[in-house]
């Protein structure tokens, strides 16, 4: 049956207003728009692209606050400040007890700020492998989701920007796979740690078979180790708000943004006594992210009929896949103390140097605060003869797709001393979780079960990732640089190493698939390849929740491309 959603219930809270960004429902110029977009990083992309047509009116509903002046979001070096504790720019969620993490409940960062997770993430720009996207095309039966078809959208999004120190970038990236004509800034690091960077690159020469150099892992061919690329421009974080809602776009007469507008549910009724109501005459677009989007759907009666009925929510459209298939990548850290003072620790542990660096950033947007303290990323595959493949089918999208990410950074493990650090990510987890409701109250947080490290493949890959980091620092170049590991894992038994992993692993905050895309005739999934909700009319989903599998990468670039592609799909429907 067709399901026509035309109304939204939201709450409005008075806050300081910005140019075309409104502070309260009462301040909106009207309550009827062609398109209403509910929040999120990709939502701002869609809003920008739809309002290129002056005939379309668009309202963006953002549950959070303005990104203006939020220094912890703006300064790249402060990357962890918004991710490591409760704050006003977060939903401040906590997961359910995670079986694979020894029943730990852990904070789960989800942004509540204009720009969505692009305003608080690690800024790492990684597209994934070409095979990731070709698999999307295969499972949906739509070649428009292939790597070759989506590459123009990567280019449409990306504005390749010179790093702030204007160093010679030859040999650090491949210009032919980047664009200078897009909207969202992407750049190489603008501050350098020469000794550390030399050692990383020398490792690719000394151990080339295991750690080959890759000129540009954003070419679609990821394997190897290459220079970090980040969504940073001019020494500042680039977000979907600072780019797609920049002043030259926000001043469009047909683009309206309302802050502090938390959408509780979608309704049919012409009138409601709860909150305020706005009308979409053409389409409602959910871009609330992999937690927010399924939560709104379920409170609207869209989801598993039995589960919703049990909570007293009338079922409007029975879609059991809503909130299911949640896929998150676990991350594990390891570090070594080093015989060098050229690390980020020399800044973070020294108040004088920290203040000097901040003053430099304020004056010229140069210095160590223009980057995150990571210089390179390695993308690695498990050995083809790994024993895990005797019982498990390789979950990677293809033979050129990595299983492990190993970010290589300087600093970060103690109050004193100097360190190097490795962040290892299981890129293709086979564990699955869910987003479900704990009640029929839309202001109660959802139940977030990430399902981390529940399968043999995931714990095996995490174990192998740590072993790769240990092999990396065994290259001869590190001999007089490394002092000792922060925790010696080299001689642990398998059980002891697994215990270390389960007690220390965390989510990478790359959640996808909770409103997954599937073929139009599939009996599972939430949206069709055109991103319209199955069985509904006038309702689409455009965010990372639609990805059928997680990319073998950070998901920011994929979310931007979903936004760009999704905007074109909407335009095509209403041309």
Weakest-pLDDT range from 29-43, 430-444, 561-575: 29-43
The confidence score (pLDDT) of residue 356 equals 98
Q: How far apart are CA 21 and CA 76, in angstroms?
A: 25
Are 57 and 135 in a shared domain?
yes
For 63-84, how does the pLDDT look when each residue is reduced to its tens digit (9 = 90+)? 999 999 999 999 999 999 998 8
For 313-345, how does the pLDDT look when each residue is reduced to its tens digit (9 = 90+)? 999 999 999 999 999 999 999 999 999 999 999
| Residue finishing a domain among 504, 531, 564 | 504
**Any residues with CB less than 8 A from the CB of 388 and at least 6 apart, and which?**
382, 456, 457, 460, 461
In a domain, 159, yes or no: yes
- Whether 554 sits among the annotated catalytic residues: the reply is yes
Nearest to 461 by CA among 377, 370, 394, 530: 394
* CATH assignment at residue 149: 3.50.50.60
Q: Is 85 annotated in some ligand binding site? A: no
Q: How high is the mean pLDDT of the chain?
A: 94
Q: Is 124 annotated in some ligand binding site? A: yes
Q: Which domain holds residue 85?
A: 1-163+241-326+509-575
Are 210 and 250 in a shared domain?
no
Active-site pick, 120, 260, 299, 554: 554
Nearest to 501 by CA among 224, 81, 86, 98: 98
Pairing type for strands 7-11 and 93-94 reads unpaired
The confidence score (pLDDT) of residue 20 equals 81
pLDDT of 17 higher than 50: no
Q: Is 139 annotated in some ligand binding site? A: no
Are 77 and 138 in a shared domain?
yes
Q: How far apart are CA 201 and CA 198, in angstroms?
A: 5
pLDDT of 18 higher than 70: no
Q: Where are the alpha helices (DSSP H) in 238-350?
A: 240-244, 247-250, 289-299, 305-310, 345-348
Domain count, the chain: 2
Are 416 and 343 in a shared domain?
yes
Q: Is 562 annotated in some ligand binding site? A: no
Q: Which one-letter DSSP state was computed for residue 311?
A: T
Active-site pick, 178, 199, 256, 510: 510
Across the range 23-42, mean pLDDT stands at 91
The confidence score (pLDDT) of residue 274 equals 52
For 420-450, how does the pLDDT look when each residue is reduced to its tens digit (9 = 90+)? 999 999 999 999 999 999 999 999 999 999 9
Q: Where are the alpha helices (DSSP H) in 282-412?
A: 289-299, 305-310, 345-348, 351-364
For 75-132, how does the pLDDT look when each residue is reduced to its tens digit (9 = 90+)? 999 999 998 878 999 999 999 999 999 999 999 999 999 999 999 999 999 999 999 9
Q: How far apart are CA 73 and CA 175, in angstroms?
A: 28
Are 198 and 259 in a shared domain?
no
Q: Is 123 annotated in some ligand binding site? A: yes
pTM of the model: 0.96
Are 316 and 198 in a shared domain?
no
For 506-543, how does the pLDDT look when each residue is reduced to its tens digit (9 = 90+)? 999 999 999 999 999 999 999 999 999 999 989 999 99
pLDDT of 3 higher than 50: no
Q: How far apart are CA 170 and CA 261, in angstroms?
A: 46
Across the range 358-378, mean pLDDT stands at 98
Q: Which one-letter DSSP state was computed for residue 6?
A: -
The confidence score (pLDDT) of residue 280 equals 83
The confidence score (pLDDT) of residue 84 equals 84
Are 135 and 269 in a shared domain?
yes
């Amino acid at each position: 049956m067709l399901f026509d959603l035309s109304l939204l219930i939201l709450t409005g809270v008075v806050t300081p207003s910005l140019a075309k960004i409104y502070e309260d429902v009462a301040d909106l110029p009207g309550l009827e728009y062609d398109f209403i977009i509910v929040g999120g990083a990709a939502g701002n992309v869609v809003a920008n692209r739809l309002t290129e047509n002056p005939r379309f009116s668009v309202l963006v509903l953002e549950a959070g606050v303005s990104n203006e002046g939020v220094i912890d979001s703006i300064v790249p070096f402060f990357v962890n400040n918004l991710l490591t504790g409760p704050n006003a720019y977060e939903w401040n969620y906590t997961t359910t007890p995670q079986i694979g993490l020894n029943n730990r409940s852990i904070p789960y960062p989800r942004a509540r700020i204009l720009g969505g997770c692009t305003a608080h993430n690690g800024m790492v720009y990684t597209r994934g492998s070409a095979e990731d996207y070709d698999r999307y095309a295969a499972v949906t039966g739509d070649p428009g989701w292939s790597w070759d078809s989506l590459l123009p959208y990567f280019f449409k999004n990306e504005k390749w920007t010179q790093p702030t120190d204007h160093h010679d970038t030859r040999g650090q990236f491949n210009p032919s796979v980047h664009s200078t004509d897009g909207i969202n800034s992407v750049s190489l690091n603008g501050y350098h740690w020469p000794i550390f960077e030399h050692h990383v690159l020398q490792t690719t020469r000394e151990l080339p078979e295991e750690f080959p150099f890759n000129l540009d892992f954003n070419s679609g061919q990821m394997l190897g180790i290459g220079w970090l690329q980040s969504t940073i421009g001019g020494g500042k974080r680039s977000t979907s708000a600072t780019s797609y809602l920049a002043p030259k776009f926000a001043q469009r007469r047909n683009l309206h943004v309302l802050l502090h507008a938390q959408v509780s549910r979608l309704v049919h009724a012409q009138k409601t006594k709860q909150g305020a109501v706005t009308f979409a005459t053409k389409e409602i677009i959910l871009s609330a992210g992999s937690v927010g989007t399924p939560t709104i759907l379920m409170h609207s009666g869209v989801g598993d009929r039995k589960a919703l009925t049990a909570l007293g929510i009338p079922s409007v459209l029975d879609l059991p896949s809503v909130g299911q298939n949640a896929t998150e990548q676990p991350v594990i850290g390891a570090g070594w103390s080093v015989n060098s003072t050229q690390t980020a620790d020399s800044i973070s542990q020294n108040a004088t140097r920290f203040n000097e660096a901040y003053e430099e950033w304020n004056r010229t947007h140069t210095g160590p605060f223009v980057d995150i303290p990571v210089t390179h990323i390695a993308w690695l595959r498990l050995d083809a003869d790994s024993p895990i493949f005797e019982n498990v089918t390789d979950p990677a999208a293809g033979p050129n797709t990595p299983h492990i990410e190993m970010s290589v950074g300087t600093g970060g493990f103690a109050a004193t001393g100097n360190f190097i650090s490795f962040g290892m990510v299981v890129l293709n987890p086979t564990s699955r979780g869910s987003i479900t409701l704990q009640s029929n109250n839309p202001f109660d947080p959802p139940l977030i079960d990430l399902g981390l490290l529940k399968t043999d493949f995931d714990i095996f890959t995490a174990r192998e990732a740590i072993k790769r980091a240990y092999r990396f620092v065994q290259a001869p170049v590190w001999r007089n640089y490394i002092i000792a590991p922060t925790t010696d894992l080299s001689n642990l038994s398998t059980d002891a190493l697994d215990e270390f992993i389960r007690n220390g692993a965390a989510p990478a905050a790359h959640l996808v698939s909770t409103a997954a895309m599937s073929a139009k005739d599939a009996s599972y999934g939430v949206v069709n390849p055109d991103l319209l909700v199955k069985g509904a009319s006038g309702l689409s989903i455009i965010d990372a929740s639609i990805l059928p599998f997680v990319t073998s990468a950070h998901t920011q670039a994929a979310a931007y491309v979903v936004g760009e592609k999704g905007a074109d799909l909407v335009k095509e429907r209403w041309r």
